[in-house]
Amino acid sequence: MADGISSFWGPVTSTIECCEINYAYSSYIAEFYNTISNVPGILLALIGLVNALRQRFEKRFSILHISNMILAIGSMLYHATLQHVQQQSDETPMVWEILLYMYILYSPDWHYRSTMPTFLFLYGAAFAIVHAYLRFGIGFKVHYVILCLLCIPRMYKYYIHTEDTAAKRIAKWYVATILVGSICWFCDRVFCKTISQWPVNPQGHALWHVFMSFNSYCANTFLMFCRAQQRGWNPKVKYFLGVLPYVKIEKPKTQ
């Protein structure tokens, strides 16, 4: 939306602006709420990373949590500046992250171990180079949605083969957060003119960030539980401060 006060970063060069007045609170932060709403994503990813390292989960999960943090930081840079270069720091990690999810979901049954990570790495690198020079616009969204849809069948398979009630509840929270978050994102994009006339802007895109922070955490936690089951680590769902779920494992002494 139109600037509120003078900007430190100069004219907007990004291809997307959200339904929030630019530089309303600071000349250094273009979209204030869309910037600070990424903080929960960083904190939740840090909690997940500490748990993965402390219990010596496979490195893929540590990398996954780190990728969540990189995405949140990239999103903060993008919404704080609304510059095209920083937009890449938001969108490119989104693709890298979903490719990592695809690896974690499909690799247990992939017989040629080196081919999948090699292909996904090359695909992610090629996308980053092409996306740096071309502004895909709607093409990026379609591409990202397709990658997400490819994950759904495998995620559903994991769900139906999981008997633990607490783990299934985490999967349900994963679905609920992405649905509610998507509604917030959609309303912010489609009904911005109407929302701008309200006494209070609900900041739909910022809410999308918050819901997706919990969505990523739930996805990671559920996948850690499923992987621990596959490895025979006797996983159990525990709760940090009685609220935030995490996976507690008991590895055999031989491991």
Residue ranges of the annotated binding site for Zn(2+) are: 79, 205, 209
Binding residues for Ca(2+), by number, are 20, 22, 31
Question: Which 8-state DSSP code applies to residue 143?
Answer: H
The answer to whether the beta carbons of residues 146 and 180 sit under 8 Å apart is no
Instruction: Determine the Cα–Cα distance for residues 73 and 40; give it in Å rounded to an integer.
Output: 11
Residue 101 CA to its chain's centroid (Å): 10
Residue 79 CA to its chain's centroid (Å): 16
Instruction: Determine the Cα–Cα distance for residues 195 and 50; give it in Å rounded to an integer.
Output: 40
User: Bridge-partner residues for 239, per DSSP?
Assistant: 245
Binding residues, by number, are 20, 22, 31, 79, 205, 209
The answer to whether the beta carbons of residues 74 and 111 sit under 8 Å apart is no
CA dihedral 178, 183, 188, 192 (to 10 degrees): 170
Single out the residue of 154, 164, 172 nearest to residue 233, CA to CA.
164
